[in-house]
Amino acid sequence: MAKAQGLTWTISDADHMTQAEIYGEVLTQIGKTNKKVVALTTDLAKSTKIGKFQPDMPDRFFNLGIAEANMMGIASGMAETGLIPVVSTFAVFASLRAAEFVRTDICYQQRNVKIIATHSGTSFGQAGTTHHCTEDLSVMRTFAGMTVIAPADARETGKAVEAVIERDGPCYIRIGRGFEPPLYKDMDFEFEIGKANQLKDGTDVAVIACGPCVVHAVDAAQQAEAQGVSVRVLNMHTIKPIDEEAILAAVMDTRRVITVEDHSVIGGLGSAVADVIAASGKGCAFRKLGYQDEYSIVGYPDDLLHKYKIDADGILETIGEVLKADFEEDEDWEDE
């Protein structure tokens, strides 16, 4: 049984727990020592796993019924009294239905609220578009003062949850439904908000991914390597603040960049990376993989990642494309 351990929590059978289960377990352990933490949900205690918090700390657990906007307002008010509210619902409701409450009650007022949104992207594929969420990174990124994180797997989620509790101010973590394959085999990796994890070095192409796409990026990079293509893989778990240094290094070293996210290509990771590249003034071949301004169809999550080319096959195909792509040469490039 592989252990997962943070500073204040330990999980003994991490291999057999989903991303959401680890989240619920970590939050519960943190809540036992940090009495300021309160957990709120909207009739999704079981689905989001925040309900694990309830048995040990019933006084600090609030199930507010199916009313997401109200939950965000209540969380803001609780933060005013010095508590650290952690709220969980599906990503589509947290980021869209309750968007103005997140913006006006939490971010605008600099309230110390943590939103852990589950079932993001197409991880709840069978539920259809109403329950998919391919817009949340874009929405949350635009709120001034919001930290936005998309962990790659369960173990990284554990570290991210711990990190946001320690961080002052509004934070948004998006995770999947919970059946995503693990990326990290143990806890021997760094997690720092705003600092990308380079999982593999490479000089021909850089793949910058977040969330469930990271494991596919590693897979694609290994397959490319076998074909003689050197691919760098960055786990860009923090979308905001984005790791500009890692992006610029990827541009300089590879000049071919692909972003991959379980999200619309408008406004999410790809856009955040594009902003940095555009401001650098450096030319490079660039592709954004994700949902191309369309509503995702019903299906099993793995099938959907494949259809929308954000799995290993899609990434590998795009690596082939960018290798052939032209880009403007930059005279000063060699001097930098």
Partner 1 sequence: MLKPAEKKKLADKARELREKIIEVTYTCGGAHVGGAFSQHDILVALYYKYLKIDPKRPQWPERDRFVLSKGHGGIGHAVILGDKGYFDEALLDDFNKTGSPFGMHLDRLKVPGVDTSTGSLGHGFPMAVGIALGARLQGKKFRTYCMVGDGECHEGSVWEAAMAGGHYKVTNLTLFVDRNGFCLDGDTEEIMTLEPLDAKFEAFGWRALTIDGHDFAQIDEAILTSQAEKERPVVIIANTIKGKGVDFMEGQTAWHYGGLDDQMKEKALKSIRGK
| Catalytic residue positions, numbered | 68
- Cβ distance to partner 1 smaller for residue 144 or 226: 144
Q: Which of 64, 220, 304, 322 binds partner 1 (CB under 8 A)?
A: 64
If binding is defined by CB under 8 A, does position 81 make contact with partner 1? yes
Nearer to partner 1, 83 or 266 (CB): 83
**Shortest distance, position 40 Cβ to partner 1, whole Å:** 9
The residue within the footprint of partner 1, chosen from 108, 189, 198, 222 (CB under 8 A), is: 108
Measured at the alpha carbon of residue 12, what is the angle toward residues 213 and 166, in degrees to the nearest 5? 65
Q: Which helix (H) or strand (E) holds 65?
A: none
- Interface with partner 1 by CB under 8 A: which range of 43-51, 78-86, 224-232, 271-279? 78-86
Residue 241, preceding bond cis, omega within 30 degrees? yes
Q: In the structure encoding, which two tokens stand for residue 236, read together? A: 């860009």
Q: Is 169 in the site for partner 1 (CB under 8 A)?
A: no
Nearer CB in complex with partner 1: 60/237 = 60
Is residue 101 within 8 A of residue 139, CB to CB? The reply is no
Does the footprint of partner 1 cover residue 75 (CB under 8 A)?
yes
When asked if residue 59 is in the footprint of partner 1 (CB under 8 A), the reply is: yes
Please say which residue, 34 or 203, places its beta carbon nearer to partner 1.
34
Task: Tell me how far, at minimum, the Cβ of 315 lies from partner 1, in Å.
Answer: 42
Nearer to partner 1, 165 or 183 (CB): 165
Q: Which whole-number Å values give the CA distances from 194 to 218, 243, 329, in the listed order?
A: 20, 5, 30
Among 236, 90, 48, residue whose Cα is nearest residue 150: 236
Q: Which of residues 16-55 bind partner 1 (CB under 8 A)?
A: 38
105 makes contact with partner 1 (CB under 8 A)? yes
Task: Assess 72 for contact with partner 1 (CB under 8 A).
Answer: yes
Q: In whole angstroms, how close is the CB of 104 to partner 1 at the nearest point?
A: 5
Q: How many CB atoms lie within 10 A of CB 13?
A: 12
For 163, residues 6+ apart whose C-beta sits below 8 A from its C-beta are 149, 191, 192, 193
**CA atoms within 13 A of residue 163's CA, in its CB half-sphere:** 22
Query: CB under 8 Å to 249, separation ≥6 — which residues?
Result: none
Which of 10, 70, 198, 280 binds partner 1 (CB under 8 A)? It is 70
104 near partner 1, rule: CB under 8 A: yes
Place of tokens 């691919």: 231
Q: Is 66 or 323 the residue whose CB approaches partner 1 more closely?
A: 66
User: Looking at 164-255, which runs of residues are DSSP E strands?
Assistant: 171-174, 197-200, 205-209, 231-235, 238-240
| Site of interaction with partner 1 (CB under 8 A) | 38, 59-60, 62, 64-65, 67, 69-70, 72-83, 85, 100-101, 104-105, 108-110
